[in-house]
Amino acid sequence: MHVPLIDLKAQYRKIRGEILRAIGEVCEGQRFILGQEVQKLEQEIAAYLGVDHAIGVASGSDALLLSLMAIGVGPGDEVITTPYTFFATAGAISHLGARPVFVDILPATFNIHPARIEDRLTERTKAIIPVHLFGQCCEMEPILKLAGSHKIKVIEDAAQVIGAAHHDQKAGTIGDLGCFSFFPTKNLGGYGDGGMIVTRDEEIARRLRRLRVHGSEERYYHLEVGCNSRLDELQAAVLRIKLNYLDQWNSARRACAQRYHQLFTKAALLSDLTLPEIVPGNSHVFHQYVIRAQQRDKLRYYLKEKGVDTEIYYPLPLHLQACYKDLGHREGDFPEAERLAKEALALPIYPELTEEQQSYIVEQIKLFYA
Ligand SMILES: *Cc1c(COP(=O)(O)O)cnc(C)c1O
């Protein structure tokens, strides 16, 4: 048996007709950038999340970059975030000449440790970017409280959590801005790059709309230097179809996670593995199902031999990346992130994953530990 980490072809088979029709309509219209499809997708995402403004951009990375630009982050500023995330989170900060200031994670949720943020605040801190990793929201209350009392902004990196909720608030709508990615393997993935920023702040929304078109509100007249970061019509048309399935697909992912939990418990593997934890008040959308395993690398190799694909998110925390040498960090600075990088193993999870495949995976893991 071969079990891939994700099987986008299985999803495509189910929606092929609808997708091809939608793409065909865009081709008939021959308008490809910022047209009706993008506008409708922005309205539909805003309605789905319960937020006032949604602005389509070229990628999740750009969503972070433009959000930081929109709140005025620049050279010399500091932005607090986690060292345990995809590089884009910190890259956006550095790109603007600002400094990423890292805070270690909570071992149980893999998300930023809220009680450790205050120590890292300085007069130069402009924002906090909590990253909702693998499908579950950060503990937002202490973060919002701290940001409120220090008058700094909160930008949620919600690239991995579209549809998730935290105490009945949708991920991405809790802070000042929320950033989403439509990278093909995300829970809501396009057929190429794409991203979205959401906010309740009308002024910020207006600024974002001009930043994505080189800072202009009236064509060829530029109020500020922005960039070219637009969502295209083909992506928006595909995403509008897929948005209709998002809740159903997220439920299917949750069911897979529950099934893993049952299978691992039944196989008596809980002394060898740590399973993902769902914090009360959170609705998890399992973008990834990440277990912690002693002998992670051996287990991964064993599974590969048995036809089970896995992935390591992420093998090297950001404070130890070559490009961040000048931040002056060393091994030991963020021990929880460093430990997780050695133990984390993502197992296959996607809405079409079958019971039979999951049983096979758990059976192989049992054989490894036996
Ligand atoms: C995917 C991802 C991004 C970047 O999104 P792109 O659309 O690939 O640019 C940013 N942050 C996190 C946590 C992600 O998972």
- What CATH number is given to the structural domain containing 303? 3.90.1150.10
The answer to whether the CB of 171 falls within 8 A of the CB of 132 is yes
* C-alpha–C-alpha distance, residues 83 and 103, integer Å: 7
C-alpha 86 to ligand 1 mean position (Å): 6
The atom number, within ligand 1, closest to the CA of 195 reads 7
Which of 84, 79, 7 lies closest to 321, judged by CA?
A: 84
Q: What angle do CA 361, 367, 370 make, to 5 degrees?
A: 145
* Rounded average pLDDT over 310-334: 98
Q: What confidence tier does 269 reach under pLDDT thresholds 50, 70, 90? A: confident
**pLDDT tens, residue by residue, 221-248:** 999 999 999 999 999 999 999 999 999 9
The residues, ordered by sequence, that sit 6+ positions from 340 with a Cβ below 8 Å of its Cβ are: 84, 105, 107, 110, 292
The answer to whether the CB of 348 falls within 8 A of the CB of 294 is no
Where is the domain boundary, 243, 262, 286?
Answer: 243
Q: What confidence tier does 55 reach under pLDDT thresholds 50, 70, 90? A: very high
312 alpha-carbon distance from chain centroid? 15
Where is the domain boundary, 243, 266, 287?
Answer: 243
State whether 238 and 250 are in the same domain.
Answer: no
The answer to whether the CB of 162 falls within 8 A of the CB of 56 is no
Q: Give the pLDDT of residue 165.
A: 98
**pLDDT tens, residue by residue, 144-185:** 999 999 999 999 999 999 999 999 999 999 999 999 999 999
State whether 68 and 169 are in the same domain.
Answer: yes
Q: Give the pLDDT of residue 260.
A: 98
**pLDDT tens, residue by residue, 75-113:** 999 999 999 999 999 999 999 999 999 999 999 999 999
Percent of the chain clearing pLDDT 90 (strictly above): 98
Which tokens is 67 given? 């959000």
C-alpha 273 to ligand 1 mean position (Å): 27
The atom number, within ligand 1, closest to the CA of 181 reads 7
State whether 81 and 164 are in the same domain.
Answer: yes
State whether 133 and 27 are in the same domain.
Answer: yes
Q: How many residues does the chain have?
A: 370
Where is the domain boundary, 209, 243, 277?
Answer: 243
Nearest CA to ligand 1 atom 5: 60
Give the pocket of ligand 1 (CB within 6 Å).
Answer: 59-61, 85-86, 88-89, 131, 157, 159-160, 181, 183, 193, 195
pTM, full prediction: 0.98
Which of 289, 267, 268 lies closest to 278, judged by CA?
A: 289
* C-alpha–C-alpha distance, residues 214 and 208, integer Å: 10
Burial classification of residue 39, based on how many CB atoms lie within 10 Å of its CB (0-12 exposed, 13-18 middle, 19 or more buried): middle
Is 92 inside any structural domain? yes
State whether 162 and 64 are in the same domain.
Answer: yes
The residues, ordered by sequence, that sit 6+ positions from 42 with a Cβ below 8 Å of its Cβ are: 54, 55, 56, 196
Nearest CA to ligand 1 atom 14: 159
Residue 203 structural domain = 8-103+111-243
The atom number, within ligand 1, closest to the CA of 132 reads 13
Is 69 inside any structural domain? yes
State whether 345 and 266 are in the same domain.
Answer: yes
State whether 223 and 347 are in the same domain.
Answer: no
